[in-house]
């Protein structure tokens, strides 16, 4: 297989090291590439690509090195607009940035094994901004052997493209941007896999259901991004940030309704009811989530209530709906639903843990800034030694200078290990649910096990 795409992102400073590792891992996972290579190429003459360690002081050293080698303050002929020809009205003074890029590389090739980027423990992939802040773009080519689930992923991609093609432009364009920006597509993949578990597998109908579930999921994200004031998702501007909140509300409504309609048109009442109940659970927990931020970081019981609704409900419903569409028996449907709920919670717990890792690809402690419910924070707040200080620091909106201290307290309290262990335990229980269906999962069992494992394989 060969797949091409673009990775778009915003840079934040005149010199900026943008860690793309997590997004590239997601792109590889979503592509279905199992063994092969990813080629990255900068589409700009003042943006480089490099692989190095994401350690803030080291990044400051790199910036200082670039300043010594090609100082901003010296004269460059490129900046001599009196003698240069073809000067644009907004021509930047950036001779130093071009010279710095000459010292770096405009491209990189990364190896992929077993569906994951091959990177050493301390290696992160960076785009190096040399003349920012700007909107930037990298060209990607993924080539190699696709996994068995690649056919399902291709079908999901094609069905989503088909559904989005027909929508009115003011609605469809922002959703296409969101859909094309990446994401794991876990829910539609679960629909496709579980739609094999029953006597009535129909690839086309399963594809429609999978796309509808993904559209509904994305509709909730569009509204979430407005509520959370998030400017960026998967490196692309959110609808609320780019087109404004009014449009974001309309886009979310449209795709919630369209997803619901596509499912109704399948003519399977049980499937419609499954997804509708999950949507209700999501909306209830989003209200709970907002309320919980007032007594941040909350407790484990409140956390589970939010996560079961906000994350796990639609993942579980995807498993249930796929199996219902295929006419699977009640026992099988119930087991798959339990499997989905467990991996949904495990995924969220692993996300929480990764927020305290130096290699998450996001600013460290982002959940603290956003007051997002987080299991390690809850455990740290209950710790006998660190708890009082964590609770005091989180009692009000956290100051930026307090965030490293909270991160240190969470790490030193053992809360990260405790949450990691819990996520792994849930992933193991999810696999155990599948074992009870031995003989009914021919052809999809290994994929479902792999998805459960992938929920926690980010945890060190």
Partner 1 sequence: MIANRELEGIEFLWETGLGERFDAYRSETAAPEPLVLAAALVETALVEQRLGAGVADPAPLLVADLCLARSSRLLAESASQPVQVEFARAVEAAATAAAEGGALPIRPRLLAILRAAS
List interacting residues with partner 1 (CB under 8 A).
Answer: 168, 170-171, 220, 223, 226-227, 244-247, 249-254, 256-258, 260-261, 264-265, 267, 269, 272-273, 275-277, 279-280, 282-284, 286-287, 290
Supply the minimum distance, in Å, between the C-beta of residue 335 and partner 1: 23
Supply the minimum distance, in Å, between the C-beta of residue 281 and partner 1: 8
Q: Which residue lies nearer to partner 1 by CB, 168 or 439?
A: 168
Burial class (CB in 10 A: 0-12, 13-18, 19+), 42: buried
Q: Which residue lies nearer to partner 1 by CB, 167 or 389?
A: 167
CA dihedral for 398, 396, 368, 411, sign (positive or negative): positive
Q: Which residue lies nearer to partner 1 by CB, 280 or 435?
A: 280
CA dihedral defined by 152, 156, 157, 158, rounded to 10 degrees? Answer: 100
Buried b (16+ CB within 10 A) or exposed e, 110-148: bebeebbbebeeeebbbbbbbbbebebbbebebebebbe
- CA dist 353 and 415 (Å) reads 9
* Residues in CB range of 394: below 8 A, 6 or more apart: 296, 297, 368, 377, 381, 406
DSSP 120-183: -TT-EEEEEESS-S-EEEEEEEEEEEEPTTHHHHHHHHHHHHHHHHTS-HHHHHHHHHHHHT--
Q: Which residue lies nearer to partner 1 by CB, 26 or 289?
A: 289
Supply the minimum distance, in Å, between the C-beta of residue 370 and partner 1: 13
Residues 342, 333 contacting (CB under 8 angstroms)? no
Supply the minimum distance, in Å, between the C-beta of residue 334 and partner 1: 19
Q: Which residue lies nearer to partner 1 by CB, 59 or 323?
A: 323
Supply the minimum distance, in Å, between the C-beta of residue 440 and partner 1: 26
Provide the H-helix boundaries in 4-108: 21-31, 56-69, 95-103
Residue with tokens 């199996």: 323
- CA dist 293 and 183 (Å) reads 26
Supply the minimum distance, in Å, between the C-beta of residue 318 and partner 1: 16
DSSP 319-374: HHHHHHHTT--HHHHHHHHHHHHHHHHHHHHHHHHHTTSTTSSS-TTHHHHHT---
Supply the minimum distance, in Å, between the C-beta of residue 234 and partner 1: 22
- CA dist 76 and 72 (Å) reads 9
Q: Which residue lies nearer to partner 1 by CB, 245 or 421?
A: 245
Q: Which residue lies nearer to partner 1 by CB, 170 or 404?
A: 170
Q: Which residue lies nearer to partner 1 by CB, 61 or 280?
A: 280
Supply the minimum distance, in Å, between the C-beta of residue 216 and partner 1: 10
Q: Which residue lies nearer to partner 1 by CB, 26 or 268?
A: 268
* Residue 32: closest CA among 137, 155, 165: 155
Q: Which residue lies nearer to partner 1 by CB, 140 or 276?
A: 276
Residues 355, 296 contacting (CB under 8 angstroms)? no
Supply the minimum distance, in Å, between the C-beta of residue 265 and partner 1: 6
Supply the minimum distance, in Å, between the C-beta of residue 449 and partner 1: 31
């Amino acid at each position: 297989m060969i797949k091409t795409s673009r990775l778009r992102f915003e840079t934040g400073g005149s010199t900026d090291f943008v860690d793309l590792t997590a997004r590239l891992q997601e792109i590889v996972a979503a592509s279905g590439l199992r063994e092969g290579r990813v080629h990255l190429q900068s589409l700009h003459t003042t943006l480089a690509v490099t692989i190095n360690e994401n350690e803030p002081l080291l990044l400051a050293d790199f910036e200082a090195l670039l300043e010594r080698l090609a100082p901003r303050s010296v004269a460059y002929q490129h900046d001599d607009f009196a003698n240069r020809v073809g000067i644009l009205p907004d021509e930047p003074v950036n001779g130093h940035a071009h010279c710095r890029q000459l010292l770096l590389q405009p491209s990189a090739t990364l190896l992929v094994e077993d569906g994951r980027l091959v990177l050493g423990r301390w290696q992160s992939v960076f785009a190096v901004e040399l003349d920012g802040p700007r909107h930037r773009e990298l060209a990607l080519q993924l080539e190699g052997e696709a996994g068995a689930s690649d056919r399902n992923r291709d079908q999901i991609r094609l069905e989503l493209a088909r559904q989005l093609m027909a929508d009115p432009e003011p609605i469809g364009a922002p959703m296409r941007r969101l859909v094309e920006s990446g994401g794991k597509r876990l829910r539609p993949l679960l629909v496709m896999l579980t739609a094999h578990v029953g006597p009535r597998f129909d690839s086309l109908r399963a594809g429609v259901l999978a796309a509808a579930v993904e559209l509904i999921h994305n509709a909730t994200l569009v509204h979430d991004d407005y509520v959370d004031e998030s400017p960026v998702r998967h490196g692309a501007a959110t609808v609320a940030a780019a087109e404004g909140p009014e449009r974001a509300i309309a886009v979310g409504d449209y795709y919630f309704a369209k997803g619901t309609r596509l499912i109704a048109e399948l003519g399977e009442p049980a499937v419609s009811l499954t997804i509708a109940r999950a949507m209700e659970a999501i909306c209830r927990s989003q209200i709970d989530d907002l309320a919980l931020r007032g007594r941040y970081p909350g407790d484990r019981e409140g956390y589970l209530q939010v996560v079961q609704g906000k994350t796990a409900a639609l993942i579980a419903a995807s498993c249930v709906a796929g199996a219902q569409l295929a006419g699977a028996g009640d026992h099988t449907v119930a087991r798959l639903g339990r499997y989905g709920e467990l991996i949904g919670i495990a995924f969220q717990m692993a996300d929480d843990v990764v927020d305290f890792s130096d290699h998450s690809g996001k600013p460290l402690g982002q959940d603290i800034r956003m007051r997002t419910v987080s299991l390690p924070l809850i455990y740290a707040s209950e710790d006998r030694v660190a708890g009082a200080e964590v609770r005091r620091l989180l009692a009000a909106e956290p100051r930026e200078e307090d965030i490293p201290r909270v991160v240190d307290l969470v790490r030193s309290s053992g809360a990260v290990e405790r949450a990691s262990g819990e996520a792994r335990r849930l992933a193991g229980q999810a696999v155990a649910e599948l074992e009870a269906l031995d003989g009914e999962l021919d052809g999809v069992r290994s994929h479902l096990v792999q998805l459960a494992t992938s929920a926690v394989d980010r945890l060190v």
